[in-house]
């Protein structure tokens, strides 16, 4: 703190943001997409687009699901039924298969479970629906990082989120005119322009940035800081006892089968009782423990609504008689309710489409905040090499590394996300492991963009990757028109609105990337003109751009 408190905070802000900035950019981008993960999944399953135009009552959907499970999974120990909603038109089934007999080889993880997607109206399995991870991929990516053990990914993301929180509050301290600077933008001023852009995108959604970072840490608080429950409940069952007390009903589904067969009661009256108990609120999920057994229990979970908390109450019914056993989760302790609200704020499922759109725009502002911060560091660092660059020298290794990482993350990630959607429509429907194949194409494209960025961090490479990303996004509605039943001209008139919204957002993102590519091209033309002046003996202005410099021939600096 020799240079003063504010200067120390500026140093802390710079390095806490830079060291994890590339991971944070991915977390913000994937997390922002997750606000509409259901709509993304619907777009990636064109076989279901027709179902969105004909909503089916929940009771009918549940009855057809029960009938299908009785026919195909009657001996399964547990059934899980996710009912259709306005955002997800199909009925999703998941069940556990009976354990193999004694002495037999243990079943693989894939063989232990069964999955199916039903048409809620007919109850027929939609065998033609393509396998895809859909929007769930982005949701998991932003805190699991996919190709690594989930526990490692969550620790890495938590570490980066803590750095982000430090960067936010140190940035507030550093910028004493932060709100005045929000209304100031000075274009074509090099470092000053990048700082103005960074300030504007940071202040635009500052409450959101602080909320989303803090609540992201809260969602996994028991993993990051488990010592309190471990110490307080060490003599009464450890963390499991803590969860049983803190989250009512969390362990009440541990029921044992009696071994005596018994027919199941109709599901529709149970749904009607649960919905009436919750004031007409819909049901989201049904869990059946020990179906077709005398001890069968049906657990009905309330659907997400206007409540901000993430934890929803449940009702339990005797699966044979249909009589209610009890309601759980109606009231929760203050601490558990606080955590539920913070978690609910983070995932945003309580919001209507307008609120989620606001969260989406704020998330995009977060992406721009991180991107402009990374580029701003390159601007300031490049000024140290201005004299060497004028004499034909090279910048240092650290700056070249940051240039390449900036290119691969900021320009490469949008291109990879668009490639993920293209793979969804172009891969054969019967390819084995189709969902993972789509993910592989995401990482192949992103990896290629990152390698090319590290090898040639030039303006031409920035322009090429931004332009390719723009092309891939803008042409997604055209791809949808040729590979799905709901082209934009149809979905705008008669729905489904989720498909129309996806296509429109894809066009908007593509145009934004095209605008960025045009700005890079303009910068390249200016550099080419400046070098031409220098070759004629005129002084050449020092470069102050945050992107990697390039010569007229595209050589790396």
C-alpha 387/C-alpha 543 separation (Å) is 10
pLDDT tens, residue by residue, 290-310: 899 998 999 999 887 667 777
| CA-based nearest residue to 300, from 56, 38, 80, 61 | 80
Mean pLDDT of 40-48: 89
C-alpha 450/C-alpha 309 separation (Å) is 39
317 confidence band (pLDDT: 50, 70, 90): very high
* Inter-residue contact 420 to 458 (CB < 8 Å): no
Q: Which two tokens stand for residue 463?
A: 């322009």
C-alpha 44/C-alpha 119 separation (Å) is 16
From residue 543, alpha-carbon distances to 211, 379, 381, 551 in Å are: 37, 9, 11, 11
Mean pLDDT of 329-344: 81
* DSSP one-letter string for 261-306: B-PPPPSHHHHHHHHHHTTTPPEEEEEEESTTBTT-EEEEEEPP-S
pLDDT value of position 557: 36
Spatial strand order in the sheet of 91-96:
113-118, 91-96, 78-82, 283-289, 297-302, 314-318, 324-328
Q: Omega of the bond prior to 496 within 30 degrees of 0, cis? A: yes
Query: Which position has the higher pLDDT, 471 or 201?
Result: 471
pLDDT value of position 223: 87
* Inter-residue contact 4 to 173 (CB < 8 Å): no
Mean pLDDT of 78-92: 85
Highest mean pLDDT among 43-52, 109-118, 124-133, 360-369: 360-369
58 confidence band (pLDDT: 50, 70, 90): confident
pLDDT tens, residue by residue, 18-28: 889 999 999 99
242 confidence band (pLDDT: 50, 70, 90): confident
Helix (H) / strand (E) containing 228? helix 227-232
pLDDT above 90: residue 131: no
| CA-based nearest residue to 31, from 212, 214, 222, 219 | 212
pLDDT value of position 552: 34
Q: In DSSP terms, which residues pair with 80 in a beta bridge? A: 94, 287
Secondary structure of residue 247 in the 3-state scheme? coil
Window from 83-92, 386-395, 447-456 with minimum mean pLDDT: 386-395
pLDDT value of position 542: 47
pLDDT tens, residue by residue, 541-557: 545 555 665 433 334 33
First to last CA, the chain: 35
pLDDT tens, residue by residue, 139-150: 999 999 988 888
* DSSP one-letter string for 180-209: HHHT---TT-THHHHHHHHHHHHHHTHHHH
C-alpha 181/C-alpha 193 separation (Å) is 11
* Inter-residue contact 293 to 274 (CB < 8 Å): no
pLDDT value of position 216: 92
pLDDT above 60: residue 106: no
Helix (H) / strand (E) containing 39? helix 37-43
Mean pLDDT of 449-455: 93
C-alpha 384/C-alpha 378 separation (Å) is 10
531 confidence band (pLDDT: 50, 70, 90): low
Q: In DSSP terms, which residues pair with 91 in a beta bridge? A: 118
513 confidence band (pLDDT: 50, 70, 90): very high
Mean pLDDT of 22-41: 94
Eight-class DSSP state of 327: E
pLDDT tens, residue by residue, 145-185: 988 888 999 999 999 999 999 999 888 888 777 666 666 66
Mean pLDDT of 102-122: 68
Query: Which position has the higher pLDDT, 461 or 17?
Result: 461
C-alpha 257/C-alpha 292 separation (Å) is 9
* Inter-residue contact 508 to 531 (CB < 8 Å): no
Secondary structure of residue 99 in the 3-state scheme? coil
C-alpha 458/C-alpha 548 separation (Å) is 5
Q: What is the pTM of this model?
A: 0.84
C-alpha 371/C-alpha 120 separation (Å) is 44
pLDDT value of position 399: 84
* DSSP one-letter string for 454-478: HH--SHHHHHHHHHHHHHHHHTHHH
C-alpha 294/C-alpha 352 separation (Å) is 41
Mean pLDDT of 367-391: 79
Q: What is the phi/psi pair of residue 100, to 5°?
A: -65, 155
pLDDT above 80: residue 503: yes
pLDDT above 90: residue 40: yes
Residue written as token pair 């969105």: 52
Question: What's the sign of the alpha-carbon dihedral 161, 165, 171, 172?
Answer: positive
Mean pLDDT of 382-409: 77
Mean pLDDT of 425-441: 91
């Amino acid at each position: 703190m020799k240079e003063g408190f504010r200067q120390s905070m500026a140093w802390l802000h710079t390095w806490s943001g830079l060291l994890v900035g590339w991971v944070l950019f991915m977390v913000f981008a994937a997390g922002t997409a997750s606000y509409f993960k259901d709509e993304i999944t619907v777009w990636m399953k064109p076989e279901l687009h027709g179902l969105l135009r004909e909503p089916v009552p929940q009771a009918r959907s549940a009855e057809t699901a029960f009938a299908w499970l009785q026919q195909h999974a009657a001996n399964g120990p547990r059934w899980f039924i996710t009912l259709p909603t306005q955002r997800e038109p199909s009925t999703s089934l998941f069940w556990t298969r009976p354990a193999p007999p004694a002495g037999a080889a243990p079943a693989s993880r894939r063989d232990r479970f069964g999955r199916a997607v039903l048409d809620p109206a007919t109850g027929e399995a939609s065998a033609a629906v393509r396998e895809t991870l859909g929007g769930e991929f982005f949701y998991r990516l932003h805190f699991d990082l996919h190709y690594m053990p989930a526990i490692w990914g969550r620790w890495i993301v938590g570490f980066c989120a803590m750095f982000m929180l430090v960067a936010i509050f140190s940035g507030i301290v550093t910028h004493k005119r932060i709100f005045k600077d929000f209304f100031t933008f000075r274009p074509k001023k090099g470092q000053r322009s990048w700082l103005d852009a960074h300030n504007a995108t940071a202040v635009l959604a500052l409450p959101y940035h602080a909320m989303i970072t803090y609540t992201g840490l809260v969602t996994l608080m028991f993993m990051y800081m488990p010592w309190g429950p471990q110490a307080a409940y060490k003599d009464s069952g450890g963390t499991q006892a803590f969860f049983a007390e803190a989250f009512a009903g969390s362990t009440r589904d541990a029921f044992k089968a009696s071994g005596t067969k018994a027919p199941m009661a109709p599901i529709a009256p149970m749904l009607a009782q649960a919905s009436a108990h919750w004031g007409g609120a819909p049901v989201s999920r049904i869990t059946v423990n020990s179906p077709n057994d005398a001890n069968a229990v049906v657990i009905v979970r309330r659907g997400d609504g206007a409540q901000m908390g993430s934890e929803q109450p449940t009702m339990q019914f005797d699966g044979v008689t249909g009589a209610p056993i009890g309601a759980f989760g109606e009231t929760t302790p203050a601490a558990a309710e606080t955590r539920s609200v913070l978690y609910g704020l983070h995932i945003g499922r309580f919001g209507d489409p307008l609120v989620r759109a606001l969260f989406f725009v704020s998330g995009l502002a977060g992406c721009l905040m991180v991107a402009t911060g990374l580029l701003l560091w390159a601007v300031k660092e490049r000024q140290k090499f201005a004299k060497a660059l004028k004499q034909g020298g090279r910048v240092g290794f650290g700056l070249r590394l940051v240039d390449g990482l900036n290119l691969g993350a900021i320009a490469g990630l949008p291109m990879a996300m668009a490639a993920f959607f293209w793979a969804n429509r172009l891969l054969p429907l019967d390819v084995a492991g189709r969902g993972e194949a789509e993910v592989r194409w995401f990482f192949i494209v992103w990896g290629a963009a990152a390698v090319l960025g590290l090898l040639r961090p030039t303006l031409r490479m920035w322009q090429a990757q931004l332009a390719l990303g723009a092309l891939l996004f803008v042409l997604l509605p055209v791809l949808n028109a040729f590979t799905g039943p709901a082209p934009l001209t149809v979905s705008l008139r008669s729905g489904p609105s989720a498909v129309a919204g996806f296509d429109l957002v894809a066009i908007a993102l593509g145009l934004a990337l095209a605008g960025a590519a045009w700005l890079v091209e303009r910068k390249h033309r200016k550099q080419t003109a400046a070098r031409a002046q220098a070759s004629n003996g005129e002084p050449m202005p020092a470069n102050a751009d945050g992107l990697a410099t390039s010569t007229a021939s595209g050589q790396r600096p």
